[in-house]
Structure 1
Amino acid sequence: MADDNDVSRDYRVRLFYKTKPEPSKAAILDKMQVLSEGFAPRDGKRDSDRLDFRHPRFVANIGGKSVGATWSIREEEIEYPGDLTPFLPALEQSWLWDDAEQVVGDCEHQLLITDQTAANMRPIERLQMMQFLVSAVVEATACDAIYWEATEQFLDPQKFVEGLHQFGAKPWKAPGAFNVRVSRVIGYGERRDDESRDMIIDSLGLGILGWPDFQCHFRGLDWREIQQIIYENALEVFESGPKLQDGQAFTSVKATQVWKCRYEEALLGPPRKVIDIDPGIPYCAGLRYAVTAGVYVK
């Protein structure tokens, strides 16, 4: 399981707009009542400007005190409209939306949706409540782009809403719930030759909910096959929870190969626990290859 400081992080989603949004609290509440009956304003008022919410279902006793999950919506300006530099890593990993860059570059405003004190919620319920609220706000405003900060990807608002309806019984399959990132590693230290070119594929979106993500650092394998393995195992964790143990045999891309997995700190941010898949010699890479094969990596 992830450390306490990992699971307690707020879950954040940003909605981007070309024109300044005017979110209607009443409209959001009406849509949320359909999606999750009982969702209510913290101040008890439907028409106030305070966009803070609670749900009586999600309350826990912590240290003798009743603590409930809360959700907030805050309006923010994009600091440098048109400058995509802060969002380039996410745009590169936005596999579900090819036109994201053009749309995001035209946006000047944003709404930040955040949950707080939600770590005591069941992971699937926490995810689904955020999905419900994002959907309600998207449908109540003319949203142009969704930045699912927790999984570092941009989503087409219409496709997100359609996907949420399509996978209503399995919210982890809806767009945004998790992401499988593909990253290239070129060189270690002073090395910049072909033999030092590796890849890291990891999942993002499980760790913030309290489950371990997956990663594989490798060379000489088809990255698409590794991406599919990570995707399938992330889905399995969402459905059944993590079951893999340190050193356990792992199904590889070839029936004749046996890989192993172990729990480690993630190689790529954000900091979190991951289930690391070790493809063994000659496919393992980086420091693992150096240790396993006795090779000095500068």
Structure 2
Amino acid sequence: MGLFDIFKKKSQDSPQQQSEIIPNQPELQFVSLFFEHKPTIDKKQILKELKSRFKVVNSAEEDSSFTFFFPEYMIEMGDASIPAQGAIIQIDQKPNLERFEKAFQQSWHWDNSKIAMESCNFEINLTDLMSRTLPHQARLEYFQKFICAVVRATNPTVIYFRNSDKLLEPTDFLEACDSEQSSFLHGIMNIRLFNVSNDETLMDTVGLHAFGIPDFECRFKGYNPGEVAGALQNLAYYVFETGDNIQSNSTVQGLGKNPIWKTRYAYSKVEPSRLIVEVIPN
């Protein structure tokens, strides 16, 4: 049995059970950039970076307008079509570190995230506009290119992905995006770990829900957390890239001596509240 047999087996849920499942709805993509010193938002430099990643980029002529249009990614709205957009919003207040306490606790990938944030005094926000109906792959693709361009042009100290509650070092993010085998979920998905008891652990992904996709959750004991994280990551990448639907009451290949693990739809045990696929070890 292969890792992704889960996508081939028909659901055993009754029609009534399936109708009761409320899917995740796409949410705005929202990313914050933090700086030690007040950043210079040079529109010409941003456009230069954007044009190295997009065939066509449009923007209002006013230098004060920081909304950009990407005609390669068109959204159908009734009788009209409009391009996907990305916007830069400047914030005129010092970041409140209390809002990142949970993110600090789950920054296994960056030990110095809190130290870096403590040095920051300025913030700008990036968001996508008019793009929720795009296929999730295209939606992430264009917005990630937008983020990379703005990061290159402004040189922030910290990147924060709101939907995954994840803090990233800018060079780490750019390397993940620009590598030949792009880790395209590196920013928009976090894998979190929670100690449930002395010998039991809960691990989940967070961030896929913002694209209308179920996240994954696994409660386990006796397994290596790093290996469980790898299994959840593999599932997440497969689902996001292929768009295959996961069926409840099926199986995936897990870990250990009895590696056939069951799956079922559920609602998350940890905030944010969302539909998840629970992966159940034997």
d(CA) in 2 for partners of 1:171, 1:224: 17
> 2:263, 2:279 within 8 Å by CA — same for their partners in 1?
yes
Query: After superposition, what is the alpha-carbon deviation per residue over 1:180-233, rounded to whole angstroms, capped at 9, x for unaligned?
Result: 1112235xxxxxxx5xx6422111222212222111123443323322211121
Q: Do residues 19 (structure 1) and 26 (structure 2) align? A: no
Partner residue in 2 for 1:172: 184
One-letter code aligned to 1:256: N
1:6 corresponds to = 25
**What are the within-5 Å matches in structure 2 for residues 106-255 of structure 1?**
106-167=119-180, 170-172=182-184, 175-185=186-196, 194=198, 198-255=200-257
Partner in structure 1 of residue 105 of structure 2: 92
Give the secondary-structure state (helix, strand or coil) at the position aligned to 1:237: helix
The CA distance in 2 between the partners of 1:185 and 1:256, in whole Å, is 23
Q: TM-score, normalised by structure 2?
A: 0.84
Write out per-residue CA displacement over residues 84-104 of structure 1, whole angstroms, 9 at most, x where no aligned residue.
322121122223222111110
**Counterpart check, 1:36 vs 2:54:** yes
Measure how far apart 1:111 and its partner are: 0.7
Task: For 2:247 and 2:118, locate their aligned partners in 1 and report how far apart those are by CA, in whole Å.
Answer: 44
The sequence identity of aligned pairs, in percent, is 26
Superposed displacement of residue 257, structure 1: 4.5
8 Å Cα contact 1:144/1:156 also seen in 2:
yes
Letter in 2 for 1:223: P
Shift of 1:5: 6.2
Indicate yes or no: 2:62 matched with 1:72. no
Partners of 1:204 and 1:161 in 2: how far apart? 21
**CA 1:57–1:98: 2 relative to 1, 3 Å:** same
Q: Which one-letter code corresponds to 2:238 in the other structure?
A: E
Q: Conserved in 2, the CA contact under 8 Å of 1:259 and 1:279?
A: yes
Q: Which moved more, 1:100-109 or 1:133-142?
A: 133-142
Superposed CA offset, 1:141-195 (max 9, x none) = 131111122221111112222222114x64525x313221112235xxxxxxx5x
> Which amino acid in the other structure matches residue 147 of structure 2?
V
Are 2:72 and 1:57 equivalent residues in the alignment? yes
Q: 1:117-160 deviations in whole A, cap 9, x for unaligned? A: 21122212211222211111111113111112222111111222
Q: Structure 2: how far apart are the matches of 1:84 and 1:201?
A: 25
Q: Name the amino acid aligned to 1:52.
A: T
Q: Structure 1: give runs of 5+ residues left out of the alignment.
A: 187-193, 281-298
Match for residue 260 of structure 1 among 243, 259, 262: 262
**Aligned counterparts of 1:267 and 1:69: Cα–Cα separation in 2:** 34
Contact 2:163 2:207 in 1 (8 A): yes
* Residues 1:250 and 1:95: Cα distance change in structure 2 (over 3 Å): same
- Asked whether the 8 Å contact 1:171–1:177 carries over to 2, the reply is no
Where has structure 1 moved over 6 Å in runs of 4 or more?
none
Q: How far is the alpha carbon of 1:10 from its aligned partner?
A: 0.5
C-alpha contact (below 8 Å) 1:212/1:242 kept by paired residues: no
For residues 232 and 162 of structure 1, the distance between their equivalents in structure 2, rounded to whole angstroms, comes to: 20
- Structure 2 residue aligned with 1:286: none
Give me the CA root mean square deviation.
Answer: 2.4
CA offset digits 1:218-275 (Å, max 9, x no partner): 3443323322211121121133223431111221212434321012222222232211
Contact 2:177 2:184 in 1 (8 A): no
Distance in structure 2 (CA, Å) of the matches to 1:104 and 1:275: 33
State the aligned residue count: 263
- Distance in 1 between residues matched to 2:68 and 2:237, nearest whole Å: 30
Q: Distance in 2 between matches of 1:91 and 1:126?
A: 27
SS in 1 for 2:131: coil
* Structure 2 unpaired stretches of 5+: 1-17
* Distance 1:3-1:72 versus aligned 2 partners, 3 A rule: farther
